[in-house]
Amino acid sequence: MTLYDHVDDYYALRQLLDEVATDEDGNPREIDEATKAALAEMADQWKGDFQAKAERVFRFRADVQAHIDACRIESQRLAGRARVNENRLRALNYLILISMSRLGIKKMDAGTFAVTVAKNPPALLVRDEEKLDPAFFDVIPEHRELNKARLKDALKDGAVVEGAELVQDESVRVK
């Protein structure tokens, strides 16, 4: 029997009590001791069944909560492992980049891998926002915000802007 069934039983029991306790006109009626005892036994039985079912639901709920907590802990553990491996990957890429740069190699086949040292797209490096021309800022009510796209385009077009520059690094591409 489900918890919903217990609720349905409760409403049926209340309806039965209303029928027994009142006559056809809705006036209270005298209930004999045997009927009172039978109704009290039914109510106690319902209450005991409901409490047992509710306890099973709460135990299941606790299991679900424990599973959620375990999943969160595991996701944190896995995120930590991912960070370690990301750092390891960056270190390996840096090792390959430095080694190939020192040897003057831009392209090579390494067995099943093709390795290329390529230039990254130019990246904007803002050294000091205070030195930048106000034309590179968008005025948003109560504060100003640097429009990096506008500044980057100006630098690409050859403008000299004190406080900002374009930098272009190299990276390893492995296929």
- Greatest mean pLDDT among 44-58, 111-125, 139-153 lies in 111-125
Give yes or no for residue 105 having a pLDDT over 90: yes
User: Do residues 6 and 49 lie in contact, with contact meaning Cβ atoms separated by under 8 Å?
Assistant: yes
DSSP symbols for 133-163: -GGGEEEETTEEEE-HHHHHHHHHTT---TT
Place of tokens 């217990």: 6
- What is residue 95's predicted lDDT score, i.e. its pLDDT? 95
How would residue 58 be classed by pLDDT, with cut points 50, 70 and 90? confident
- What is residue 16's predicted lDDT score, i.e. its pLDDT? 72
- What is residue 25's predicted lDDT score, i.e. its pLDDT? 74
What are the residue ranges spanned by the domains of the chain?
3-82, 107-174
Q: What are the tens digits of pLDDT across the range 28-57?
A: 777 777 777 777 787 777 777 778 888 888
- 23-34 per-residue burial string, b: 16 or more CB within 10 A, e: under 16: eeeeeeeeeeee
User: Do residues 158 and 148 lie in contact, with contact meaning Cβ atoms separated by under 8 Å?
Assistant: no
How would residue 82 be classed by pLDDT, with cut points 50, 70 and 90? very high
- What is residue 109's predicted lDDT score, i.e. its pLDDT? 92
- What is residue 4's predicted lDDT score, i.e. its pLDDT? 65
How would residue 117 be classed by pLDDT, with cut points 50, 70 and 90? very high
